[in-house]
Amino acid sequence: MGTVHGRCSTKLRNSRNGINGSFPDRRRPAVAGFENKDNTPPNQAAHTTPTASAPTNMASLPYAHVDCSLRALAGQAEGFGRFAIGGLHGPLYHVTTLADDGPGSLRDGCRRKEPLWIVFQVSGTIQLLSYLSVASYKTIDGRGQRIKLTGKGLRLKECEHVIICNLEFEGGRGHDVDGIQIKPKSRHIWIDRCSLRDYDDGLIDITRESTDITISRCHFSQHDKTMLIGADPTHTGDRCIRVTIHHCFFNGTRQRHPRVRFGKVHLYNNYTRNWGIYAVCASVESQVLIRL
């Protein structure tokens, strides 16, 4: 498939009544008013049934079916971000340096226009000097290494099909600096198994008509305004926003778990502990379904 500089190679329960209608079980997290134009609810990925030859202990591990091979992750999100494929059809890009920029850096891979599955051959902290913009059809796959981003965050601007997995975000500084900023008009995004804490603005912000996003199994801590969905009361275009948040741990964060304006948000199996002001805020025409 060709080579890219910087080291690339080819290689909830039963149905119940809710907002304007009934909700099916967690395997099909649809909400009346949340449906697609063809009225087909967003399917959550079904867990793979272990085969007789699979070790019992492996089959019972969370995400065993998506971690069995590198690219098995693609297309396995639950909920509204279920179509995200990231860099499934592109070559591997190997991050070989913790430098902010240059050959072999994360920034160099993320800015490229072609699909890429980005993996790391190093562990450590990447000090971002400015927002790191992520182009369409990228998977940033931190599995197997420990990668921490600090200083600034990721910016997903007018992009689609991005998967971000197993990264740490800590210590973002500056005006309007979020851990992951998704705006405007980005779609088919999956943020999975990330840890986020201590940014000057939000940890994850989803605004300006960005939609079809899933946030799963993430850990949020040491923060005030955790997650914003919907920019402000004047941005009526945010009525298109659809987000699923599941199996996340909000650990002592003060507020916005999330705060929603206009969007349609489905939350299930999340744990919010010791919030300071409020847990979830639904305002300005938002529709929020919460299942334990």
User: Which CATH number does the domain housing residue 68 bear?
Assistant: 2.160.20.10
Q: Is 236 a member of any domain? A: yes
The reported pLDDT for the residue numbered 292 is 82
The reported pLDDT for the residue numbered 60 is 67
| Residue 109 pLDDT exceeds 80 | yes
Q: Is 1 a member of any domain? A: no
Q: Is 169 a member of any domain? A: yes
Percentage of the chain lying above the pLDDT 90 cut: 76
Among all residues, which ones are annotated catalytic?
256
Q: Identify the domain containing residue 140 by its residue range.
A: 8-291
The reported pLDDT for the residue numbered 14 is 32
| Residue 5 pLDDT exceeds 70 | no
- DSSP-assigned states of every residue in the chain: ----TTTEE----S-EEETTEEE--TTS---TTT--TT-PPPPPPPPPPPPTTS-HHHHTSTTTTTSSSGGGGTT---GGGTT--TTTTS-EEEE---SSSSTT-HHHHHT-SS-EEEEES--EEEE-SS-EE--SSEEEE-TTS-EEEEES-EEE-S-EEEEEES-EEEEE-STT--SEEE-SS-EEEEEES-EEEEESS-SEEE-SS-EEEEEES-EEES-SB-EEES--TT-GGGGG-EEEEES-EEES--B-SSEEES-EEEEES-EEES-SS-S-EEETT-EEEEE-
- What is the rounded average pLDDT for all residues in the chain? 85
Q: Which of 2-6, 205-209, 243-247 has the lowest mean pLDDT?
A: 2-6
The reported pLDDT for the residue numbered 59 is 56
Q: Is 282 a member of any domain? A: yes
State mean pLDDT over 57-68: 74
| Residue 62 pLDDT exceeds 50 | yes
| Residue 15 pLDDT exceeds 80 | no
Q: Is 2 a member of any domain? A: no
| Residue 223 pLDDT exceeds 80 | yes
What domain count does the chain have? 1
| Residue 22 pLDDT exceeds 70 | no
Q: Is 3 a member of any domain? A: no
| Residue 26 pLDDT exceeds 60 | no
Percentage of the chain lying above the pLDDT 70 cut: 79
